Chains A and B, each alone.
Chain A
Amino acid sequence: GNSVTQMEGPVTLSEEAFLTINCTYTATGYPSLFWYVQYPGEGLQLLLKATKADDKGSNKGFEATYRKETTSFHLEKGSVQVSDSAVYFCALSQSASKIIFGSGTRLSIRP
């Protein structure tokens, strides 16, 4: 069945460091791929998405490229801020209904 695997956390970085959170997926066909973010005490917010191979999703300085050949959708940011501290979820959707989420990666940014 379809699944998403993302790097385990927690990930701790200093402010202005470069961020990569790895995400790979298993699916037949061409799913849509998402990154959601969950700030402390809040619900999930869509961060970015890509709907076909080689698409790049971007938002708030974060980027991820849909790589069909490596079944990956790694999240990157060139310079993180303390306000980026949150839990990040990689996810895929291949049907009209459900989204399949990874287990989440907790990111902590030190000032």
Chain B
Amino acid sequence: ETGVTQSPTHLIKTRGQQVTLRCSSQSGHNTVSWYQQALGQGPQFIFQYYREEENGRGNFPPRFSGLQFPNYSSELNVNALELDDSALYLCASSPGTSGGQYQETQYFGPGTRLLVL
């Protein structure tokens, strides 16, 4: 069973550019969540996708958008990058419903570290 993987591991962009981060969920998981972790802070929820539909969104502007694909992998897109977007971006997957109950536990990938100059 493979865990959550993310690519790339590191990325440097300049202000105003656009970036796409990718995530492959753990085998058997149909739900993917994205978090932003600024240096020295706890992760902040960006949004979640369940079976290719957005299923909750945190307090992030519309320039943060996402996709989930039929194989449950996911992308996070950020347009018009700002300096404050520099952070570790974490993807987490969860199995959704298992045994008739929603499974809340999320399993995290290693993250993509984004630096905006």
Contacts and interface: CB of A to CB of B under 8 A. Distances in A.
B45 A100 contact: yes
A43 B41 contact: no
B42 A43 contact: no
Contacts, number: 59
Contact of B42 (A46, A93, A102): A102
Contacts of A97: 33, 45, 48, 55-56
B108 interface: yes
Contact of A93 (B4, B55, B104): B104
Using C-beta atoms within 8 Å of the partner chain, give the interface range for chain B.
20 to 34
A36 B41 CA distance: 14
Interface in B49-108: 50, 55-56, 58, 90, 92, 102, 104-108
B111 A98 contact: no
A23 to B, nearest CB: 12
Interface of A: 4, 32, 34, 36, 42-46, 49, 51, 89, 91, 93, 95-104
Given A46-B105, A46-B106, A97-B45, 8 more contacts: A43-B4, A43-B108, A43-B110, A49-B105, A51-B104, A89-B43, A96-B104, A102-B42
